[in-house]
Amino acid sequence: MRGFRTPDTRSVVCLGLASVLVNVLVVAWVGISRGGDSFRYVDGAAQLVAGEPLRAPNVSQYLGYVGLVALATIAGTGLTGVVAVQIAVAAFAAMAVYDLGRQLGGRAAGLLAAGVFVVDVDIAQWHAYILTDSLYISLVVIATWFVHRAGALGLKSYVNALLVGVVTASIRPNGWMFGPLAAVYWISRSALSRWARIGIACAMLAGLAGVISLALYQRYNTVVAHPPKGWDNARAFADVWLGLFGSAPSGENRLALAANRVVLEVGHVRPVYSTRHNAAVIAMLAVTYPLALVGFIRRRQHPLSRLMVAIIAGHLLIVALTFADRDGRYLLYVFPLIVVFAACGAVSLAASASSNRRSPTQPAR
C-alpha cells in the first residue's frame, strides 16, 4: 500500500459524531432554509417524481441533487431528509479531512484540520440550506481522499474513486474537473518513466483545453446571436477563457478581470456580511493563509500535497473564468483543503519550536 496508512478508528468515529452533533445544533438553531436557487431543485424533484420532463432552468447540471430531493420526497422525509443526508455526508467529510491531514502532517495535523472543519460556522450554515453547496463542499474533500487512495492502493480503488467523482459532478458541474485532475494524478504516480508521464499528461491537458476552447467559442457566438435572459455561466466562462488568448469576438484580453475575481474570492469579505462577520473572516484568513503556505512548502514533495493544490487551483480557475460569487461560497468549496495545509504548517512550526527549546545551548567561544 504505497503512501497510504490506515487511520485510527477511534479518532475517525469521534470526529464523525462531533460533526453530526455540531451540525444538528446549527440546523436546530437556524432551521431548514431555502436559497435563491432552491426552487429549481424542489421543482425539478417534483417533475421527476411526477414523471415529467425537467423544465427548471439549467436543472440538468445539478441532476444528482435534484435526484436526492426527489428520493426524499418519495421516502416521505421531505426537505428534512435532504438536510439529514447533508449532515451525514459532512460527517464523512470531517473524517476525510482528518485522514488527509494525518497523511500529510501527522495525527495532530489531522485532528486540528478536522476540528476546524467541524466548527467552521461559515461551512456549517450551508448544511441547513436546500442548495447544492453543502454536499459539494463535503464531496470535494471526500473525492480528494478517494483519488489519492486510488493512486496509493491501485486498481481496485479506481472504481470507487470514479464513482465518487461522478456523484460529485452530478451535484455541481464544477465537479467534472476531478476527471482530468485524477487522470493526471494517477499518471504521475504510475510506473511509467518520468518523461512518458509528463508527455501523456501534457498531451491530455492540451487536448482538453482545445476541446473546451472550441466548445466555448461555438457557445459564445450562439449567445451573442441569441442573448439569454439573465446571467449565463457559459457566456461568462467563454468571455474570459477565449479573451485570455485574444480569441473572443471583442479581442480584449481579460487577464486582469480574471485575477481580480480570484483576489475577491480568496479575500472572502463581502458587503452582505455583518461587520462582525467580516472581522472574523479577516482574522481567520490572516492566520490560515500564512500557515497554509508554510504547510505546503514543507510538504510540497508529498503527492497528496500536489493533488490538493491542483484541486484548489482548478476551483479558483473556474472563479477566474466566471465570477466571484456574492456570498463567498466558492472559496468554501476548497477551504477545507486549505485548512489541511494550515494545520500541517501549524504542527510543523510547533514541532520546530519545541525542538529548538529542547536543543542544548551552544557554549560561548
- The DSSP-derived string for 176-239 is GGHHHHHHHHHHHTSSS-HHHHHHHHHHHHHHHHHHHHHHHHHHHHHHHHSPPSS--HHHHHHH
- Report the C-alpha gap between 185 and 174 in whole angstroms: 18
Tell me if 129 is assigned to some domain.
Answer: yes
Tell me if 233 is assigned to some domain.
Answer: yes
Tell me if 142 is assigned to some domain.
Answer: yes
pLDDT at 228 over 60: no
- Report the C-alpha gap between 233 and 244 in whole angstroms: 17
Higher pLDDT, 3 or 234: 234
Burial of 232 per CB tally in 10 Å (0-12, 13-18, 19+)? middle
pLDDT at 274 over 50: yes
Residues paired with residue 33 on neighbouring β-strands, in sequence order? 129
Tell me if 18 is assigned to some domain.
Answer: yes
* Predicted confidence band of residue 219 (pLDDT cuts 50, 70, 90): low
Residues paired with residue 129 on neighbouring β-strands, in sequence order? 33
The number of distinct structural domains making up the chain is 1
pTM: 0.85
Tell me if 151 is assigned to some domain.
Answer: yes
Tell me if 28 is assigned to some domain.
Answer: yes
What would the pLDDT profile of 7-55 be if each residue is shown by its tens digit? 678 888 899 999 999 999 999 999 999 988 898 899 999 999 988 888 8
Structural domain boundaries enclosing 106: 9-36+77-352
Q: What is the pLDDT of residue 221?
A: 56
Q: What is the pLDDT of residue 230?
A: 47
* CA atoms 112, 115, 121, 122: torsion sign: positive
pLDDT at 250 over 70: no
- Report the C-alpha gap between 195 and 357 in whole angstroms: 45
Residue indicated by cell numbers 495532530: 108
Amino acid, single-letter form, for residue 141: V
Tell me if 292 is assigned to some domain.
Answer: yes
Tell me if 242 is assigned to some domain.
Answer: yes
* Predicted confidence band of residue 179 (pLDDT cuts 50, 70, 90): confident
